[in-house]
């Protein structure tokens, strides 16, 4: 057996104060005016859930208590997030699910990314040969891809689930029917979208009661979504791809229901019934690297998460980060991220359309050829040109740099584990905060604007762009659901929202836990840096306001401030067999970690 390099840290002191606070789900009859208490850490037996929302985590725990497994609980949690986090996720979007099967000690993935209409070409976002304004792609039918989330649920449950979808939708249906309590984060997100929500009558009716954002502490109900969930429970997810819901989606995309008097340019999309009926999820081999003797599994393309996190870890493999100073650690982390994003921009796209050299990107040989660019006393210049994983040359670059495309930040991530040892890391999204801004009339859910993750146009004719639109193509993503194993057994799993910052958030949390010895909750809470092959590196206030920034600037780093990067959740298997669930302490109002049995011994 290989020796695990997860550094032993005293977790009991971290969790003692929160083991019984918000650690378990409330009874199913809890009124909406008394939501579950959020806690960022929970420890115990019987399974665990970590998400950004207490109601959603409680839905997953409810399923685990009733004998469901981690996949069942993940679907129930995701469905509840569609109610309480509708600006981040829902059945109008898509995502990626990574699953560890304890019986076979194997990792599997489901690619549930949205797809472009079959009519889409590389000029999808061009008008008169020029890219349209980004907001005209963002708030439009043009940016809507075929949703993948319901199909992801069906695929995962069909392969590994133990409960019918109808049973798993019940907690979310109940939550939509009776309502959830609005918090400050939900209100702030609504306020930020108030102008565009007001331009769509169904969105305004649902999220702007009385024409204004709902007040903190009020109860927001979504009876249309409750009915939609009941219809899916009764007829199966096929109704969203071939039935009445599919027809409603197509009608909404092709003729967006804009309010009378609205002056916004809302472009129609070309999604068809055939596009929806043809949609399929894809079971892909996971991206995998070895790091410090552990096996790190992530999502392969169409996501760039697994290859980019994996390449950066391989670059860092030759450096002993346990002995590095804090400034030295951050310098290496920033430079590894810069290089990984340079290579991502040149090589990663939908593998059905692009020849993506996945194995080359994940090879230690290629990482070593790129790592030699890093110096301790200087900073690489961005944008950095890519390397060639098909023919690695020491310190070599090839061609010109490709810019990092914009990706919406309001994704969400959940992590689940069960009493049998199965684990799920699941990242799902509708892209921008509020997606397209368009609610399907009578259905209670927002449509995604995921197609804006494509490049609107090539940055330069001299650079091949693997992320241009195409018929039925999946836009490149940064979602990075990740599971770490030691000798075939789970060590930890985590993921985050945040657009392209997802990759850097996951990388920093992994190295914070595995190398720097931080407890998982502290690795998640640590102030973040995000470098994405750009001239400046983003810093959260905890780093911006501290002495490390000055120390790093002395060797050439340039920074800009970002008030909040990501909102991670994770789980860890402790040496005594218990699960530790961890979520954000502050970001997005704090997350919610729960376990089935929070007391010290297994029942």
Active site members: 411
Cα(53)–Cα(149) distance, rounded to whole angstroms? 19
Backbone angles phi, psi at 424, to 5 degrees: -130, 130
Q: How far apart are the first and last CA of the chain?
A: 29
How large is the C-alpha radius of gyration of the chain?
22
Helix (H) or strand (E) holding 361: helix 358-361
Residue located via tokens 């996951």:
506
Residue located via tokens 């994003």:
341
Q: Quick check: 392 and 369 in contact, CB under 8 A? A: yes
Which segments of 198-291 does DSSP mark as H helices, in order?
Answer: 201-207, 223-235, 238-242, 244-254, 273-277
Cα(222)–Cα(178) distance, rounded to whole angstroms? 8
**Structure-block tokens of residue 545:** 């306001």
**Cis, peptide link before residue 365, omega less than 30° from 0:** no
Cα(365)–Cα(378) distance, rounded to whole angstroms? 23
Cα(127)–Cα(134) distance, rounded to whole angstroms? 12
Residue located via tokens 């929160």:
18
Q: Quick check: 435 and 193 in contact, CB under 8 A? A: no
Burial of 551 (0-12, 13-18, 19+ CB in 10 A): middle
| Chain centroid offset of residue 394 CA | 33
Cα(18)–Cα(593) distance, rounded to whole angstroms? 10
Where are the extended beta strands (E) located within 219-347?
219-220, 282-284, 287-291, 294-298
**Structure-block tokens of residue 2:** 């290989």
Residue 58, number of CB atoms within 10 A of its CB: 27
| Chain centroid offset of residue 316 CA | 23
Cα(380)–Cα(411) distance, rounded to whole angstroms? 30
Cα(478)–Cα(459) distance, rounded to whole angstroms? 19
Burial of 285 (0-12, 13-18, 19+ CB in 10 A): exposed
Cα(415)–Cα(48) distance, rounded to whole angstroms? 8
Q: Count each helix (H run) and each strand (E run) in the chain, helices first.
A: 22, 20
**Structure-block tokens of residue 80:** 């509840």
Backbone angles phi, psi at 182, to 5 degrees: -70, 130
Backbone angles phi, psi at 425, to 5 degrees: -120, 120
Q: Quick check: 528 and 508 in contact, CB under 8 A? A: yes
Judged by DSSP in three states, 186 sits in helix
């Amino acid at each position: 057996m290989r020796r695990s390099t997860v550094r032993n840290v005293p977790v009991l002191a971290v969790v003692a104060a929160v083991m019984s606070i918000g650690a378990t789900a409330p009874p199913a009859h809890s009124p909406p005016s008394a939501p579950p208490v959020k806690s960022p850490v929970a420890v115990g037996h019987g399974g665990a859930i970590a998400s950004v929302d207490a109601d959603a985590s409680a839905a997953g725990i409810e399923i685990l208590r009733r004998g469901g497994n981690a996949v069942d609980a993940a679907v129930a949690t995701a469905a509840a997030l569609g109610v309480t986090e509708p600006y981040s996720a829902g059945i109008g979007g898509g995502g990626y699910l990574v699953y560890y099967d304890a019986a076979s000690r194997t990792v599997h993935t489901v690619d549930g990314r949205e797809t472009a209409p079959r009519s889409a070409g590389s000029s999808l976002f061009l008008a008169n040969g020029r890219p349209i304004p980004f907001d005209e792609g963002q708030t439009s039918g043009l940016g809507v891809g075929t949703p993948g989330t319901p199909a992801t649920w069906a695929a995962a449950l069909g392969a590994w689930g133990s409960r019918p979808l109808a049973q798993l939708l019940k907690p979310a249906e109940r939550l939509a029917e009776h309502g959830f309590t609005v918090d400050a984060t939900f209100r702030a997100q609504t306020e930020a979208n108030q102008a565009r929500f007001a331009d769509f009558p169904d969105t305004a009716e649902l999220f702007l009661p009385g024409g204004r954002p709902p007040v903190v502490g009020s109860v927001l109900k979504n009876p249309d979504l409750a009915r939609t969930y009941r219809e899916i429970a009764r007829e199966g997810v096929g109704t969203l791809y071939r039935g009445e819901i599919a027809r409603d989606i197509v009608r909404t995309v092709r003729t967006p229901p804009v309010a009378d008097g609205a002056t916004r340019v809302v472009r129609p999309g070309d999604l068809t019934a055939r596009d929806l009926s043809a949609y399929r999820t894809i079971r892909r081999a996971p991206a995998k690297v070895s790091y410090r003797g552990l096996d790190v599994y992530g999502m392969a393309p169409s996501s760039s998460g697994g290859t980019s996190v994996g390449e950066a870890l391989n670059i860092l493999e030759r450096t002993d980060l346990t002995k590095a100073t804090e400034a030295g650690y951050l310098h290496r982390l920033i430079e590894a991220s810069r290089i990984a994003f340079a290579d991502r921009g040149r090589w990663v796209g939908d593998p059905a359309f692009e020849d993506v050299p996945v194995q080359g990107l994940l090879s230690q040989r290629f990482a070593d050829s790129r790592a030699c660019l890093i110096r301790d006393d200087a900073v690489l210049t961005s944008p950095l040109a890519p390397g060639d994983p098909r023919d690695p040359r020491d310190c070599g670059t090839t061609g010109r740099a490709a810019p990092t495309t914009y990706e919406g930040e309001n994704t969400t991530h959940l992590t689940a584990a069960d009493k049998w040892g199965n684990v799920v890391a699941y990242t799902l999204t509708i892209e921008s905060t509020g997606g397209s801004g368009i609610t399907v009339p009578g259905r209670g859910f927002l449509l995604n604007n995921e197609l804006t993750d494509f490049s609107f146009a090539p940055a330069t004719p001299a650079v091949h762009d693997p992320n241009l639109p195409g018929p039925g193509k999946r836009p490149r993503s940064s979602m990075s659901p990740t599971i770490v194993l030691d000798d075939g057994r789970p060590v930890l799993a985590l993921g985050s929202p945040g657009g392209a910052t997802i990759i850097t958030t996951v990388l920093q949390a992994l190295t914070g836990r595995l190398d720097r010895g931080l407890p998982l909750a502290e690795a998640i809470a640590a102030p973040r840096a995000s470098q994405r092959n750009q001239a400046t590196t983003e810093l959260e206030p905890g780093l911006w306001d501290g002495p490390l920034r000055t120390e790093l600037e002395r060797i050439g780093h340039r920074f800009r401030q970002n008030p909040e990067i990501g909102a991670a959740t994770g789980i860890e298997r402790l040496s005594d067999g218990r699960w530790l669930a961890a979520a954000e302490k502050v970001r997005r109002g704090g997350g919610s970690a729960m376990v089935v049995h929070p007391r010290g011994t297994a029942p």
